[in-house]
Chain A
Amino acid sequence: AQKITQTQPGMFVQEKEAVTLDCTYDTSDPSYGLFWYKQPSSGEMIFLIYQGSYDQQNATEGRYSLNFQKARKSANLVISASQLGDSAMYFCAMTFMNTGFQKLVFGTGTRLLVSP
């Protein structure tokens, strides 16, 4: 069975500081994809970053980086230099080989609040 765990229901960070949002997973699939999505209070789902299970280097997209530790089955999102606009729900999600990578399976999400 595939399971994605986000243990932090809520996180607080001050503006301009870095924050790490945790994501661990459990799968026996040899190949999978890891995604992070942001959902601001307006409700839309915004793709942030992707990491393939065979990618050697950690993914980075601007202020977002994915700290991928395959042996530990973790894929934490690091946001550097937090901004007020980063306040939102953040979801870790995955695709799996045994479902043909056809669907995203989501974690329960972490609510991030950035304070001035």
Chain B
Amino acid sequence: DTAVSQTPKYLVTQMGNDKSIKCEQNLGHDTMYWYKQDSKKFLKIMFSYNNKELIINETVPNRFSPKSPDKAHLNLHINSLELGDSAVYFCASSQVKRISYNEQFFGPGTRLTVL
């Protein structure tokens, strides 16, 4: 059974378009995240939601808008795509069981290519 799933796996689009990436987790976790991995493999958090409430927004351009319809889903909508948005986007989820132990389970990633 897939724990954290993302669709689509690959997304190729033109500059200026709007696109969405969907994420679902079946682990019963309260917290979900979006991370961006750039071409140099550097991973950085973008957003975090806890029980549908936004708790982290890491100075991401407002062209990026996350939406959490329920605690099992966290979608990422990107408006007016730019070349620099090309990256791999990872969804993750976690349930903090004890202090500092925030093991995050990652989805397979969505490779976004903006032409």
The interface of chain A, by Cβ under 8 A from chain B, is 31-33, 35, 37, 39, 43-45, 47, 50, 52-53, 89, 91, 93, 95, 97, 99-106, 108-109
CB-CB under 8 A from B109, the residues of chain A are 43-45
Bound Cα distance from A44 to B90, whole angstroms = 9
Q: Which residue of A lies closest to B58 (CB)?
A: A103
Bound Cα distance from A37 to B103, whole angstroms = 10
Contact A91 B100 (CB under 8 A): no
The 4 closest A-B pairs by CB, nearest first: A33-B100, A45-B106, A106-B43, A103-B45
Q: Which residue of B lies closest to A37 (CB)?
A: B106
Offer 18 A-B interface pairs, CB within 8 angstroms, sorted by A.
A31-B99, A32-B100, A33-B101, A39-B41, A43-B88, A43-B108, A43-B109, A44-B106, A47-B104, A47-B105, A50-B101, A50-B103, A89-B41, A100-B55, A102-B31, A102-B55, A106-B44, A109-B42
The interface of chain B, by Cβ under 8 A from chain A, is 31, 33, 35, 40-45, 48, 50, 55-56, 58, 88, 90, 92, 96, 99-106, 108-109, 111
CB-CB under 8 A from A104, the residues of chain B are 35, 43, 45, 102, 104
Bound Cα distance from A103 to B56, whole angstroms = 8
Known A-B contacts A43-B108, A44-B109, A45-B90; the reply to A101 vs B41 at CB < 8 A is no
CB-CB under 8 A from B102, the residues of chain A are 33, 95, 101-102, 104
Contact B45 A101 (CB under 8 A): no
CB-CB under 8 A from A100, the residues of chain B are 55
Report the minimum CB–CB distance from B95 to chain A (whole Å): 12
CB-CB under 8 A from A43, the residues of chain B are 88, 108-109, 111
Report the minimum CB–CB distance from B18 to chain A (whole Å): 25
Report the minimum CB–CB distance from B11 to chain A (whole Å): 14
Contact A31 B103 (CB under 8 A): no
CB-CB under 8 A from B106, the residues of chain A are 37, 44-45
Bound Cα distance from A100 to B31, whole angstroms = 13
Give the most central of A39, A45, A101: most B CB within 10 Å. A45
Bound Cα distance from A53 to B41, whole angstroms = 26
